[in-house]
Amino acid sequence: MFETKIGIDLGTANTLVYVPKRGIIINEPTVVAISLEENRVLAVGQEAKDMLGRTPETIVASRPMKDGVIADYRVTEAMLRYFINKALGNIRFFRPEVMISVPGGITSTERRAVVDAAIAAGAKSAYVIKETVAAAIGAGIPISEARGNLVIDIGGGTTDVAVLSLGGIVNSTSVRVAGNRLDQAIVEFVRKRHGLAIGDRTAEEIKINIGSAVVLSEEEVMEIKVRDMISGLPKVVTVSTNEVVQAISDELLEIVKAVKHVLQETPPELASDIIDKGMIMTGGTAMLRNLDHYISQSLGVPCFLAEEPLLCVAKGTGVALDNLGSYKKSILSAK
C-alpha cells in the first residue's frame, strides 16, 4: 500500500507491472472489453481476452495498443488506471511514480500520449524508457560500460534492435513486425492452403505449441477446430510444425533484416564486442522455438535468449525507476 513506484511494460499483447522489492505482480493480456450501451469498461486483462471473438454486438473486446503505441487513448487510460489500482490498491496515501517502456521508433507525440495517459490514470509523475534499454537492464547487461551490447526485443507489436554502450543507444531500429504479424501470417496460410478460417487466438496457440523458426526433421502436429470457408461448417484439421515455418518465413526474414541493418551501421570496435559476446534476445516472441539459431545462422553472429525473456522489459523499467540517477541518460521524458 505504501509503494510509490511502478514499472510498466505496456506491450501490444501483454502488460506487465513491476513493483520494486515485490517483483512482477501483474502479467495480463493488453485487452479491454467495453459495453457500448453504457459506455463503460466491463473487463481488463485475461477476463477481457477470454471475450475476444465471443462478444455480442453491444460489447467490444479490443486491444488499445497497436504496434506498441496507443491506438485508443481513452481505453488505454482506463486500462492503466485498472493496473495501477490492482498493483497498489484503491486506497493509498501517495500517487505513484510510473516508468513505462515504449518502442524505439515512437514519435514525440506518441511518447507524450503515453505520459499523459499515465498521469490521467493516477500517476504523480511518469517517465518513458525505450524497450531495448529496459530489456538490457532487466536481462542484467551492464549497459553503462564502454562495451557494445546488441539487444533484440521481439514483442507483440514491434521488434526493437539496439546497440548499447556507456548507458546510451549508439544505433537502433524498430520494425512493426513481431508476434501479432506472425499470428496473422498463420491465419493467412491456413486460409490459402486449406481454405479454412481461424481466429488470431487459434493462430497464437499454434505458434506457441508447435511453432518453430527452422524446419524440423521430427515435426509436431496439432489438431485445431476451424470453419470451412466453402461450406461454412466447423471441422477439425491437423497443422504441422513445418507448415508454421513456411507460414512465418517472410516475417522472420524482416526481423533478420532489421538486425542486419543495425549491425552494418555499428562502429567496428563495438561490432567486435558483439561478435565476442553475442546478441541477446528478449520479449515474448523471442521464445519461438529455434529463433536464436535461425538468427545466428542468418547473420553469422552468436545469438542467445535472455533468462525469462518475457519479463526483462518489465524488470528493467522497475530497476531504472529505482535508480533514476544512474539511468538518466536512458530515460526519454518526464512530467
Domains of the chain: 5-133+313-334 (3.30.420.40), 143-177+248-307 (3.30.420.40), 179-243 (3.90.640.10)
Burial class of residue 270 in the structure, from the number of CB atoms within 10 Å of its CB (0-12 exposed, 13-18 middle, 19+ buried):
buried
Q: Which of 9-13, 146-150, 273-277, 328-332 has the lowest mean pLDDT?
A: 328-332
Q: Which of 44-53, 64-73, 156-165 has the lowest mean pLDDT?
A: 64-73
Average pLDDT for the chain: 88
Which residue do the cell numbers 497464437 mark? 204
pLDDT (0 to 100) of residue 91: 61
Beta strands in the chain (DSSP E): 5-10, 14-19, 23-29, 32-35, 40-44, 59-62, 65-66, 69-70, 97-102, 125-130, 149-154, 159-165, 168-175, 196-197, 221-228, 234-240, 279-282, 303-305, 331-334
- C-alpha cell belonging to residue 52: 475476444
* Angle CA 243–249–253, to nearest 5: 170
- C-alpha cell belonging to residue 75: 481505453
How many other CB atoms are found less than 10 A from the CB of residue 78?
A: 19
Segment 56-85 mean pLDDT:
84
Burial class of residue 34 in the structure, from the number of CB atoms within 10 Å of its CB (0-12 exposed, 13-18 middle, 19+ buried):
buried
Beta strands in 80-233 (DSSP E): 97-102, 125-130, 149-154, 159-165, 168-175, 196-197, 221-228
Segment 117-137 mean pLDDT:
89
Residues 222 and 261: their CA atoms lie apart, in Å, by: 36
pLDDT (0 to 100) of residue 330: 65
Residue 232 has pLDDT above 70, yes or no: yes
pLDDT (0 to 100) of residue 333: 45
- Residue type at position 136: A
pTM: 0.87
Which residue do the cell numbers 511514480 mark? 97
CA atoms within 13 A on the CB side of 153: 35
CA separation, residue 104 to residues 134, 187, 277 (Å)? 11, 28, 23
Residues 203 and 205: their CA atoms lie apart, in Å, by: 5
Query: First CA to last CA across the chain, in angstroms?
Result: 23
CA separation, residue 226 to residues 99, 107, 202, 229, 245 (Å)? 41, 40, 9, 9, 20
pLDDT (0 to 100) of residue 60: 86
Sign of CA dihedral 249, 281, 203, 222: positive
pLDDT (0 to 100) of residue 113: 87
Which residue do the cell numbers 511518447 mark? 111
Segment 136-153 mean pLDDT:
92
pLDDT (0 to 100) of residue 154: 94
